Amino acid sequence: MIMAPPKIEAFASREALFDATASVLVAALNDAVAKRGHAGFAATGGTTPAPVYDRLATLTLPWDKVTVTLTDERFVPPSDASSNEGLVRRHLLVGAAAKAAFAPLYFDGADPEEAALKAQDGVAAALPFGVVLLGVGGDGHFASLFPGNPALEAGLDPKTARSVIAVPPGSPAPDLPRISLTFQALIQASLIVLLVTGQAKKALLEAPVDPGLPIAAILNQDRAPVRILWAE
């Protein structure tokens, strides 16, 4: 059933967007801890979320009851500038938030498939997520589930037993091997927040959403509520 996509919540500036996103995340995590005694948070990588994580790290949360993992990872060590683990460790797991547990997707010495299998136990400890923060690519990808990629079908399979998969490099993207949470893992969440900037990505998310875009799977599912937070 194709559902109307969630309405886009527009903010007057990126600063306002980042403030609002951090507030939504901390409320969802506090709610999950209150309900279940623990909260899992699946954090996106990319170039947008760092200011959100900087804000989130300063907010009041029983961080020792939170497990942070990633929606996806570039297959590089945390010390690499393009590492999402590195991004989260620099911007989120600092100060009081350093008390949170972290479930990595990258493991030294493992190949992508071995890493994906190894990551599943840590991700399982964070499921069901209190909240998932996703970015959206200009090609409609989310996490590391890219249009046309050989791993896309497995990644979007609602019946897969996998929560984490290896994603090979592809053309035009991704340029590096990736590790990605699967669609069925990501929707095991009390809330999915899409953090989006710019007109082009906003247009992707306005009805009618192209059903061929990976992000359409997130917008069309009815397991996890979705909020789209956007600024220019």
Size of the site for ligand 6PG (CB under 6 A): 14
Q: Does 48 bind ligand 6PG (CB under 6 A)?
A: yes
Residue placing its CB nearer to ligand 6PG in the complex, 65 or 89: 89
| Nearest approach, Cβ of residue 76 and ligand 6PG (Å) | 11
Tokens of 71: 């929606």
User: Least CB distance from residue 17 to ligand 6PG, whole Å?
Assistant: 12
Are residues 203 and 145 in contact, defined by beta-carbon separation less than 8 angstroms? no
Q: Which two tokens stand for residue 23?
A: 């507030």
Nearer to ligand 6PG, 63 or 75 (CB): 75
Q: Is 112 in the site for ligand 6PG (CB under 6 A)?
A: no
47 scored as a contact of ligand 6PG (CB under 6 A): yes
Would you count residue 143 as binding ligand 6PG (CB under 6 A)? yes
Beta bridge partners of 227: 193
Instruction: Please name the residue that has the structure tokens 């897969």.
Output: 160
Strand duo 101-103 + 8-10: pairing: unpaired
DSSP for 122-152, written as a single string: HHHTTPSEEEEEE---TTS-BTTB-TT-TTH
- Phi, psi for residue 23 in degrees, rounded to 5: -65, -40
Task: Work out whether 140 is an interface residue with ligand 6PG (CB under 6 A).
Answer: no
List of residues contacting ligand 6PG (CB under 6 A): 44-48, 71-72, 84, 135-137, 141-143
